[in-house]
C-alpha cells in the first residue's frame, strides 16, 4: 500500500488505519515526510510505515523486491479493478485527493487501475478508494479465511 503526499496529508491517516485493518505489510508514503496521524486512530504505532522521497525511490525499492506497482486512478487507459486479477504480492499506489496520481507516479507504475463509479463525481475519497482496492485484494488472496 502506498500513497503520495505531495499537496496535503488529510487522508493519509485513514489509509494507514485501513491498511492496518487489512493487515497490509507496510504503508509507503511518497513525498513529504510529515502527515496528519490523527486519522490513523493510533494504528500508525502498529502498522509499518516507510517513507520514500519520490516515486522513483518507491519504484527502485519495489524493483529490488520484484513487487509490481499498481496505481489506482480514474484516467484514460486504466483497467477496471473489478476485472483485474491482482498479484498476490504488489504495491497499490494512490495519489492525492482531487488531482490523483502525479505524472511521475503514473510513470513508476507497472499498471493503472480504476474503480467503477456511476455518479456525477469524477472520483471518490482516496481513503475510501484505498479500502475498496484493499478489499478487492483480500477477496482474491485471503478469502475465505482458512
Distant-in-sequence, close-in-space partners of 13: CB < 8 Å, separation ≥ 6: 35, 36, 37, 38, 39, 40, 41, 44
To the question of pTM greater than 0.85 for the whole model, the response is yes
Which CATH number is associated with domain 2-141? 3.40.1280.10
Three-state SS sequence of 53-108: CCHHHHHHHHHHCCCCEEEECCCCCCEEHHHCCCCCCCEEEECECCCECCHHHHHH
| pLDDT tens per residue across all 146 residues of the chain | 999 987 766 788 899 999 999 999 999 999 988 888 777 787 888 899 999 999 999 999 999 999 999 999 999 999 999 999 999 999 999 998 778 999 999 999 999 999 999 998 877 888 999 999 999 999 999 887 65
What local confidence, expressed as pLDDT, does residue 140 receive?
A: 95
Peptide bond connecting 144 to the previous residue in cis, omega within 30 degrees of 0: yes
Amino acid at each position: 500500500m502506498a500513497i503520495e503526499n505531495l499537496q496535503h496529508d488529510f487522508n493519509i491517516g485513514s489509509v494507514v488505519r485501513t491498511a492496518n485493518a487489512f493487515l497490509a505489510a507496510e504503508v509507503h508514503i511518497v513525498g513529504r515526510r510529515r502527515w496528519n496521524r490523527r486519522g490513523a486512530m493510533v494504528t500508525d504505532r502498529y502498522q509499518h510505515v516507510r517513507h520514500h522521497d519520490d516515486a522513483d525511490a518507491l519504484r527502485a525499492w519495489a524493483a529490488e523486491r520484484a513487487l509490481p506497482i499498481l496505481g489506482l486512478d480514474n484516467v484514460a487507459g486504466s483497467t477496471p479493478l473489478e476485472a483485474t486479477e491482482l498479484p498476490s504480492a504488489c504495491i497499490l499506489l494512490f495519489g492525492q485527493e482531487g488531482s490523483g496520481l502525479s505524472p511521475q507516479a503514473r510513470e513508476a507504475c507497472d499498471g493503472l487501475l480504476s474503480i467503477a463509479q456511476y455518479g456525477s463525481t469524477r472520483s471518490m475519497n482516496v481513503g475510501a478508494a484505498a479500502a475498496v482496492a484493499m478489499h478487492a485484494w483480500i477477496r482474491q488472496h485471503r478469502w475465505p479465511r482458512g
